[in-house]
Amino acid sequence: MYDPTVARLTYRALLGRRRAAVLLILPVLLIFIAVAVRGFSGVDDQTTSNVLGGFALATMIPLIGVIAGTGAIGPEIDDGSIVYLLAKPLPRPTIIFTKLIVAIAVTMVFSAVPTFIAGFILNGNGQQMAVSYTIAALVASIAYSALFLLLGTVSRHAVVIGLVYALVWETLFGSLVAGARTLSVQQWSLAVAEKTAGDGLIASDVGLPLAVVLLVGVTVVATWYAGQKLRTLTLAGEE
């Protein structure tokens, strides 16, 4: 189910000079904000939660997921170069699974690591805040990568759709409409992190059992469906 050659090509595509520079912008900004907030406000658990929850989890991680998830396959489909990969004797679900693993790894490195560093800067992991939000970042990275990889497989406008989901649904509707939070990867990951943080510092509108079921279900279904779509993908170069 995992092909090293596909993985190497995908890493090369995602970590090229321009894309890597874009991926670094938000983590660097998060750490800068953490340093500034610590300098002006000192150690405060609620402020730490606001920064990590309001910026890292609600904005940075979804956007990095969009870049990594759609970038793992979308550009190859858009320019037709994926026809060379599809011509190889590889099961198409293997291609999807390999690209998903790469997208997850990239998203985790560029989101979970800076989240932990920022949390440590803000309050030295008091109340397990840095660890808890890092867990949320790791869990969210998996679901976002699967969702946005699927988008990159089924739509040529995957980046736009992904940005709408990340910025409008997760950030705007998720903060204003209570019902929308139930269908939010952010809330699902917060439910997992809630169990490790101090009382009342992290809260989710979704219970942990439902959150785990939804995280696993969305990841599995999105990966399976992306594999099915790639099976039936027809490119001009194949005709």
> pLDDT tens digit string along 212-228?
999 999 999 999 999 99
The pLDDT value given to residue 199:
74
Q: What is the per-residue pLDDT across 164-205, written as a single tens digit (0 to 9) for each?
A: 888 887 777 666 666 667 888 999 999 999 888 877 778 888
pTM of the model: 0.92
Distance of alpha carbon 61 from alpha carbon 187, whole angstroms: 13
Which pLDDT score, from 0 to 100, does residue 68 have? 94
Structure tokens at 195: 């169990």
Residue 25: CB atoms within 10 Å: 13
Answer whether residue 105 shows pLDDT above 50. yes
What count of other Cβ atoms lies within 10 Å of the Cβ of residue 134?
27
Alpha-carbon distance 92 to 238, whole Å?
15
User: How far, in Å, CA of 56 to CA of 154, rounded?
Assistant: 28
Tell me the C-alpha distance between 209 and 29, whole Å: 33
Q: How far apart (Å, rounded) are the C-alpha atoms in residues 70 and 159?
A: 6
Can you tell me the distance from the alpha carbon of 178 to that of 195, in angstroms, rounded to the nearest whole number? 21
Q: Mean pLDDT throughout 14-38? A: 92
% of the chain exceeding 70 in pLDDT:
94
